[in-house]
């Protein structure tokens, strides 16, 4: 490992979220939700929120750091950072950027946050209402290929073709999220269990995705406080140390009109390699994994590209039993994730990864040492995070 690694030098010291709402159901503004999450994360850490001096977000979050810092009366603003790229690909990447700023000494306490009230702004799942489109969208939208589900189904279909994979792994991934949401009172789908029959009888959105293969659209906000390992040890919570945080995109993945040379991919091949090298661990060392579900097929490819099984082993490995906290080889999305806890653009996956290390998850894995997050399959760029107790 190189000298300049962030490994063991940074920790997540506070986590929080607002109540999670169905899309359009939040009764206060997106900006207020964001402030509430940041205040609660500082409180969780035992930190005066005015001491936060760095802000990192992603996916073009509308709530900009200068406004937040002014609203909260933060004493100083030393980092105002946006991870470029859409979707949830920047969740772990925003943490990675926070880590870099902390190790470089730019900032002392950085909040990584995401506020999202799709009811107050546009929905992700609807097609453009523009009369004309140009550039990349001109090659897809006139043909009715408009939404994220439609964009990514094409990649997943190709992967399933390449490795002769059927629908069972997608069902297992969906059911794992719903299963774990049933013990999580924060989850929007708490009290709404999903049976195998429910899944199989659900309508197609776009083949190979059924309704329950697709994430929800929600309102809410979440935040995590990131600081140096030394400062974290002086705060209230047991630190969740960052072993590795990696971001990026494989060769020409953003080529327009679906021309990425490697097509049936979640885009994690180079990111995962850098992640494990930085952490100095192997896939078998991971005790629990939160893997971003925009669509189940993306999770399937993410887990393969993070080395949990070979593509040829997907059907054998990716079963509901293997994904359950308590019995599974790879407990997956133990809060319910984007499918069943809340679509907070995957920041809820990072708070859950921390809860697992604290021992406070509602689907607790027994004494996990290594907790992983994979953020945003199939978008460009993507990112991943490995947290550890030590």
Partner 1 sequence: MSAAPYLPAGLPAPAAANDGLDTEYWEAARRHELVVQRCNACQGFQWGPEWICHQCHSFDLGWQKVSGRGTIYSWERIWHPVHPALREACPYMVVLVELPDAGNVRMVGNLLGDPMEEVVIGSAVEAVFEDHPDDGVTLVQWRRV
Of the ranges 106-114, 182-190, 226-234, 256-264, which one interacts with partner 1 (CB under 8 A)?
A: 256-264
What is the nearest approach in angstroms of partner 1 to the Cβ of residue 164? 11
> Residue 203 interacts with partner 1 (CB under 8 A)?
yes
What is the nearest approach in angstroms of partner 1 to the Cβ of residue 97? 27
Q: Which is nearer to partner 1, 201 or 360 (CB)?
A: 201
Collect all residues with Cβ–Cβ distance below 8 Å to 186 and sequence separation of at least 6: 17, 19, 20, 335, 341, 342, 362
Q: Closest by alpha carbon to 110, among 210, 14, 251?
A: 14
Q: Which residues ranging from 260 to 319 are in contact with partner 1 (CB under 8 A)?
A: 263-264
Q: Closest by alpha carbon to 11, among 357, 324, 332, 336?
A: 357
Binding-residue pattern over the window 13 to 32 for partner 1, x denoting contact by CB under 8 A: --------------------
Q: Which is nearer to partner 1, 31 or 209 (CB)?
A: 209
Q: Which is nearer to partner 1, 27 or 131 (CB)?
A: 131
Q: Closest by alpha carbon to 334, among 319, 345, 350, 310?
A: 350
> Residue 259 interacts with partner 1 (CB under 8 A)?
yes
Of the ranges 70-78, 98-106, 250-258, 314-322, which one interacts with partner 1 (CB under 8 A)?
A: 250-258
Q: Enumerate the β-bridge partners of residue 112.
A: 56, 224
Q: Which is nearer to partner 1, 32 or 140 (CB)?
A: 140
Q: Which helix (H) or strand (E) holds 237?
A: none
| Cα 180 from Cα 178, distance rounded (Å) | 5
Q: Which residues ranging from 108 to 167 are in contact with partner 1 (CB under 8 A)?
A: 125-147, 149-150, 153-155, 157-158, 161
> Residue 106 interacts with partner 1 (CB under 8 A)?
no
Q: Which is nearer to partner 1, 49 or 260 (CB)?
A: 260
What is the nearest approach in angstroms of partner 1 to the Cβ of residue 267? 16
Of the ranges 164-172, 199-207, 343-351, 371-379, which one interacts with partner 1 (CB under 8 A)?
A: 199-207
Q: Is 58 marked active-site?
A: no
| Cα 62 from Cα 27, distance rounded (Å) | 18
Biggest CA–CA distance in the chain, Å, is: 57
> Residue 202 interacts with partner 1 (CB under 8 A)?
no
| Cα 54 from Cα 38, distance rounded (Å) | 12
Handedness of CA 190, 350, 334, 389 (dihedral sign): negative
What is the nearest approach in angstroms of partner 1 to the Cβ of residue 319? 26
What is the nearest approach in angstroms of partner 1 to the Cβ of residue 125? 6
Phi, psi torsion values for 153, nearest 5 degrees: -60, -35
| Cα 58 from Cα 387, distance rounded (Å) | 20
| Cα 125 from Cα 194, distance rounded (Å) | 22
Q: Closest by alpha carbon to 54, among 22, 8, 99?
A: 99
| Cα 227 from Cα 108, distance rounded (Å) | 6
What is the nearest approach in angstroms of partner 1 to the Cβ of residue 12? 36
Catalytic residue among 21, 58, 109, 292: 292
Q: Which is nearer to partner 1, 84 or 251 (CB)?
A: 251
Of the ranges 59-67, 204-212, 241-249, 338-346, which one interacts with partner 1 (CB under 8 A)?
A: 204-212
| Cα 92 from Cα 82, distance rounded (Å) | 12
Q: Which residues bind partner 1 (CB under 8 A)?
A: 125-147, 149-150, 153-155, 157-158, 161, 203-208, 252, 255-259, 263-264
Q: Which residues are catalytic?
A: 292, 343
């Amino acid at each position: 490992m190189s000298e300049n690694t962030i490994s063991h030098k940074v920790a997540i010291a506070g986590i929080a979220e607002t109540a999670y709402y169905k899309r359009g159901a939040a009764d206060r503004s997106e900006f207020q939700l964001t402030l509430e999450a940041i205040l609660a994360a500082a409180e969780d850490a035992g930190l005066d929120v005015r001491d936060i001096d760095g802000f990192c977000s992603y996916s073009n979050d509308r709530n900009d750091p200068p406004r937040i810092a002014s609203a909260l009366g933060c004493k100083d603003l030393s980092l105002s950072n946006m991870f470029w790229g859409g979707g949830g690909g920047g969740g772990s990447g925003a943490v990675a950027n926070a880590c870099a700023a902390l190790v470089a000494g730019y900032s002392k306490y950085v909040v990584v946050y995401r506020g999202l009230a799709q009811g107050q702004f546009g929905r992700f799942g609807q097609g453009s209402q523009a009369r004309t489109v140009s550039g990349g969208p001109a090659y897809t939208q006139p043909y009715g290929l408009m939404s994220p589900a439609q964009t990514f189904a094409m990649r997943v279909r190709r992967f399933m073709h390449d490795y002769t994979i059927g629908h069972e792994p997608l069902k297992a991934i969906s059911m794992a999220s719903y299963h774990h949401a049933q013990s999580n009172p924060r989850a929007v789908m708490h009290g709404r269990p999903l049976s195998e029959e429910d899944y199989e009888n659900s309508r197609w959105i776009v083949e190979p995705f059924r309704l329950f293969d697709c994430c929800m659209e929600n309102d809410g906000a979440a935040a995590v406080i990131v600081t140096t390992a030394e400062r974290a040890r002086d705060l209230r919570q047991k630190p969740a140390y960052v072993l590795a945080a990696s971001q990026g995109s494989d060769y020409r993945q953003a080529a327009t009109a679906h021309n990425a040379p490697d097509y049936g991919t979640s885009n994690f091949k180079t990111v995962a390699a850098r992640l494990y090298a930085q952490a100095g661990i192997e896939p078998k060392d991971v005790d629990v994994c939160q893997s971003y579900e925009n669509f189940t097929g993306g999770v399937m490819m993410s887990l393969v590209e993070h080395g949990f099984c070979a593509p040829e082993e997907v059907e054998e490995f990716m079963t509901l039993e293997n994904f359950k906290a308590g019995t599974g080889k790879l407990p997956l999305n133990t809060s319910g994730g984007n499918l069943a806890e809340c679509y907070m653009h995957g920041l809820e996956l990072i708070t859950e990864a921390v809860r697992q290390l604290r021992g406070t998850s509602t689907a607790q894995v027994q004494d996990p040492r290594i907790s992983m997050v994979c953020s945003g399959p199939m978008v460009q760029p993507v990112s991943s995070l490995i947290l550890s107790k030590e």
